[in-house]
Amino acid sequence: MNRVLVQGSVVALVGLAGCNWFLPLVFVLPDTKTVPPEFSRLENQTVAVMVWAEPETLFDFPYVRLETASYIGDKLRREVDGIHLVNARKVEDFIERDAQVAHDARAVGQHFGADMVVYLELLEFQMRDPDAPEFIQGKIRASVRVYDLTGDPDEPEYFELQEVAVTYPEQPHLYTPEGEALVRRESYQQFAEVTARKFYEHEEAL
């Protein structure tokens, strides 16, 4: 009886596999995994994205706060249901008018009536290696913290998330003005992608 069952199972498998009976398992196993958000409470909230940078970074890249926040905001707007983002230009203008709030996510969030503030501190931002300025390679690294302003307005709850770091391209390229513009744009896009993924379910390669 067991022999009959085994033979029946083999026939059934052959019938299901058809011509792909010897197809390697790599072609039938999933090549991605579903990753839950690191922080899942931005849906249906008013959110301000705020970026801090060292004065030395701002000297070389005066629009880095606005550009970083804009790229991240655009990605969040496309991926997080019901999110309402405070205009990044308005946030930057507010910080430029009052430098004391550059570190104060609570003040910025309350000024714009935000429920949440996604606050990033740029720990590294460069497009050319100081020791090899003839090469271009984007490197962006930042800490990420989320402030929840829906509770106690004087002592808002906050959540430390994992750092974000991207390097583009993997190997440095010889400098050209056109190449630098491309590297900078792609570095921003990849950084925004990795940062925004902290806030929504997504697929990652195994």
| 92: amino acid identity, one letter | E
Question: Cβ distance 88 to 70 under 8 Å?
Answer: yes
Q: How confident is the model at residue 10 (pLDDT cuts 50, 70, 90)?
A: very low
Please give the pLDDT value at position 24. 57
Residue with tokens 């929504």: 200
To the nearest whole number, what is the mean pLDDT of the chain?
88
Output the DSSP codes for 21-88. TT--GGGTS-SEEEE--S----TTSEEEEEEE--HHHHHH-TTHHHHHHHHHHHHHHHHSTT-EEPPH
CA pair distance 18, 158, nearest whole angstrom? 56
- DSSP class of residue 179 equals H
**Mean per-residue pLDDT, 106-125:** 97
Please give the pLDDT value at position 183. 96
Per cent of the chain over pLDDT 90 is 75
If we measure between CA atoms, which residue out of 159, 143, 130, 136 comes closest to residue 191?
Answer: 143
CA pair distance 32, 205, nearest whole angstrom? 4
Residue with tokens 């806030």: 199
Distances (CA, A) of 46 to 9, 80, 85, 156: 56, 12, 6, 15
CA pair distance 198, 75, nearest whole angstrom? 11
Please give the pLDDT value at position 176. 93
Q: How confident is the model at residue 4 (pLDDT cuts 50, 70, 90)?
A: very low
